Structure 1
Amino acid sequence: MIFQQLRIGDYFRIPGISFACVYRKASSSSCTLDMLLRPIRRSAIVVPLNRVELSRYIQQRQEFLTDLDD
């Protein structure tokens, strides 16, 4: 799949980049990684997260943020 085919708000990974890096489509030409806006080519190859991967990612993110508060 290519970046252009994603909907705004979809979570994805980029092949060849660390498995821990999860991006979110922010606009037709940008995405976010750790809340930082980054440009991306519309033709970039991406791997959308499925429901299980997304659930796991959100859970890990919440645990990380909770640990920061402690």
Structure 2
Amino acid sequence: MERIMDYIGKNACQSAVVGLMSTKGLEHFYERYGFWKRPTEQFGNGMIQFWGETMHPVKDLKG
């Protein structure tokens, strides 16, 4: 993770936004590197879409 953060620090544009999806329950690992959980007062929930997938990742797993 240190190498990734070093790369971002050297290559990201000024005011760049770095998105990250964490495995549920492991968010604390990334908080050590300055990432924070959403939603917050200012920012809503993060969202994803599986483009071209035939399975809906939430509905189909619930049965």
Measured against the shorter chain, the TM-score band is under 0.3
Q: Which structure has more strand as a fraction of its residues?
A: 1
Higher RCO (C-alpha 8 Å, min separation 6): 1
Calculate the TM-score normalised by the size of structure 2: 0.28
Give the alignment's TM-score, normalised by structure 1. 0.26
Query: Highest CA radius of gyration, 1 or 2?
Result: 2
